[in-house]
Amino acid sequence: MLTSQVCLPLVLAVLLQVWQILSGTEIVAGFVKLEDREKQLIETERLVLNEAVEVIKKAAPLMEEVSLLNDAVSQIDEPFLLVIVGEFNSGKSTVINALLGERYLKEGVVPTTNEITFLRYNDLDIEQQRCERHPDGQYICYLPAPILKEMTIVDTPGTNVILQRQQRLTEEFVPRADLLLFVISADRPLTGSEIAFLRYSQQWKKKAVFVLNKADIYQNNQELEEAMSFIKDNIQRLLNTENVILYPVSARAALESKLIATSNVGKLNEELSTSDSHYGANSFFELENFLYSFLDGSTIPGMDRMRLKLETPVSIADRLISACETLVTQDYRYAKQDLAAVKDIVNSVNDFALNMETESLFWRRQAVSLIETTKSRIVELAETNLQLANFDIIASYAFKGEKNAMPSTSKIQNDIIGPAVSAVQKILQEYEDWLYSKYTLQGRLYKESFEKRWPSLRHESNQTNFETNQLQKKVDQAGSQVIANFSSSAVSKAFEQEVREMIIGTFGQLGVAGLSASLLTSVLQTTLEDLLALGICSAGGYLAISTFPGRRQRVIDKVKRKADNLAYELEEAMKKDLTEAIESLNTFVKVLSEPYHDEAQNRLNNLVQIQEELSNVEKKLRTLQIDIQNLRVS
């Protein structure tokens, strides 16, 4: 007869199935005796998780881990997922075979142990069992093992496999597990790869049950206790937990026991009859009983199992939401920086304007200085020529009419004003070229700054045609227009007219003869008789001469005023050119910045909305976690 320990798992499985059939109890997500409250919780969880998936896709479109959450959501109604992990050659396949009660994991049944392999239930004869390879590299094997009715077992590659892809497959599948069964080999407990894998699994907060396989290699219980103590202490430290479930087993002995039981062999062979083998087999049955207790949702372990099942996708969602919040916060900061950068570039036109204003003073001072010099020369000429000693000659031109120009007029036009106008025109041309060059170059620099910082927005539809843009057009050239409107001949003639009017106004009543007499009277040493002889003329001459200095000063003052007005108009015109250039540049930069500003602002608004959605989902996940923890056996 077989021992009760050997038969117990089989009996439990059969009784459970019979009870389910007879009672007609509905099974949802692998649980029995599920109340309406629990059903509603599952539906609520599904809705919240689907909402989380959508928000995660918005927040991090490139996040590949969202597939983990999608899978977890789709598996809420599926059997409990037990994932077997451990080093290559730690005995994972033997442990699985022992759980299944047959040597299913053998050559020809499972194509490779270097892939993720799902073991699912199907009521087929052992000869009809099949495995299917999916495009993602995973295998699904359909087996008639009773335990698979309530539990899908997943075999994973070893944690110490050489190929990085295999290691990645194992690590990516851990988050989907409802429970990890971590197989440790007694001949090499807690290797480096196992420790690294435990640290990885900790970030997903997975519940793990540890199996110390090949425990029958220890000589006595003391060695076994020392090994278990070593493993527990290290796991407690690594996972920062006090509750470590560790089963020392001999999967090989347990499998042999089951095979003998199913083959109706009356007694165990000699190897399995040793105490150590009995110990290893019996300990495995304790592990199996622990797992079977998860199958009944009406029990406390079964309710724990339900919590684990429901917490798995919530845990994945929680972690991904947290990662998304980090990404969104970072993107929000970048978007604000981009928006500030756009504003800084636009506002930097003001700094450019100040620098241009400072530099433009050089050109304005040159132009004004030339006008000032020209004014001084004309005033000096006027003061030199408009003297009484020269008035015989000047007056003769004044009384002869406008057809006869005075020599000073020709000198003013040809020797003073003409060259000065040419010099000012040259300065203005250089000024306008400098102005045009500076602000167009600055415009290009702004354009390049935008495109370099945000290359993704640089496409044909957003290109500003720099050649046809208003920025490329020269300003109105108000300064040149002032000089163009200035005529040296007109100014010379105006000056001549002023002199004529001055002379005629001073001596018009005397005529040329009277003017000569008056000049003689004023400049020659005369006797009283001479003055009496020239009495009539001298009386008028003295009167005229006495008003001449004032009239001459008024002519000179007019010359100064006209020169000063010209200097003022020219400087204001040059300022206007500068202002227009700055306004043109400012308009150009604002237009240029619009797509970049709008992009940054829209991104910022979108991120704010996503942050709110993430926060709302996170609150729902917190509530869901509380509801899951509050599940009680009714």
pLDDT digits (tens, 9 = 90+) for 416-430: 777 887 888 888 888
Q: What's the pLDDT band for 504 if we cut at 50, 70, 90?
A: low
Q: What is the mean pLDDT of residues 53-73?
A: 89
**Alpha-carbon gap, residue 451 to 438, rounded angstroms:** 20
Tell me which of 17 and 405 has the higher pLDDT: 405
pLDDT above 60: residue 328: yes
- Cα torsion at 311, 312, 314, 319 (round to 10°)? 130
Q: Which of 413, 429, 543 is nearest to 481 (CA)?
A: 429
Tell me which of 12 and 153 has the higher pLDDT: 153
User: What pLDDT score does 559 carry?
Assistant: 77
SS (H, E, C) 333-372: HHHHHHHHHHHHHHHHHHHHHHHHHHHHHHHHHHHHHHHH
User: What pLDDT score does 112 carry?
Assistant: 47
pLDDT above 60: residue 572: yes
Please check whether the domain covering 79-261+277-295 is classified as CATH 3.40.50.300: yes
Q: What's the pLDDT band for 533 if we cut at 50, 70, 90?
A: very low
Q: What percent of the chain has pLDDT over 90?
A: 20
Cβ pair 76, 46 in contact under 8 A: yes
The answer to whether the pTM exceeds 0.85 is: no
pLDDT above 70: residue 460: no
Buried/exposed 551-579: b ≥16 CB within 10 Å, e otherwise: bbeebbeebeebbeebbebbbebbebbbe
Q: What's the pLDDT band for 281 if we cut at 50, 70, 90?
A: low
pLDDT above 90: residue 261: no
Q: 457-461 contacts: CB < 8 A, separation 24 or more?
A: 457/595, 457/596, 457/599
User: What pLDDT score does 631 carry?
Assistant: 78
**Alpha-carbon gap, residue 620 to 604, rounded angstroms:** 25
**Cα-based distances in Å from 35 to 31, 43, 298, 305:** 10, 13, 10, 15
Q: What's the pLDDT band for 339 if we cut at 50, 70, 90?
A: very high
pLDDT above 90: residue 433: no
Cβ neighbours, 10 Å, residue 477? 21
Q: Which of 18, 593, 71, 50 is nearest to 339 (CA)?
A: 593
Average pLDDT, the chain: 75
Could you give the residue range(s) of every CATH 3.40.50.300 domain in the chain? 79-261+277-295
Which of 123-132, 197-206, 337-346, 353-362 is the least confident region?
123-132
Q: What is the mean pLDDT of residues 266-288?
A: 57
pLDDT digits (tens, 9 = 90+) for 364-398: 898 888 888 888 887 787 777 665 445 554 555 44
Q: Which tokens sit at 558?
A: 């007019």
Cβ pair 378, 416 in contact under 8 A: yes
pLDDT digits (tens, 9 = 90+) for 150-194: 788 988 887 776 556 666 667 777 787 888 899 999 988 888 888
Tell me which of 467 and 50 has the higher pLDDT: 50
Highest mean pLDDT among 328-332, 395-399, 400-404, 539-543: 328-332
Q: What's the pLDDT band for 114 if we cut at 50, 70, 90?
A: low
Q: What is the mean pLDDT of residues 595-613?
A: 93
Tell me the DSSP string of 266-312: SS--TGGGSHHHHHHHHHHHHHHHHHHGGG-TTSHHHHHHHHHHHHH
Q: Which of 633, 631, 628, 632 is nearest to 317 (CA)?
A: 628
Strand-pair partners of 180: 83, 208
Residue 370 CA from chain centroid, whole number: 55
pLDDT digits (tens, 9 = 90+) for 550-563: 767 777 787 788 88
**Cα-based distances in Å from 8 to 2, 15, 591:** 10, 10, 81
Q: What's the pLDDT band for 239 if we cut at 50, 70, 90?
A: confident
Cβ pair 42, 76 in contact under 8 A: yes
| Strand ranges across the sheet with 139-143 | 130-133, 139-143, 117-121, 151-155, 80-86, 179-185, 208-213, 246-248
H-type alpha helices, 118-220: 164-173, 192-202
Q: What is the mean pLDDT of residues 429-453?
A: 86
- Cα torsion at 505, 509, 510, 511 (round to 10°)? 80
pLDDT digits (tens, 9 = 90+) for 21-57: 334 444 444 444 556 777 888 899 999 999 999 999 9
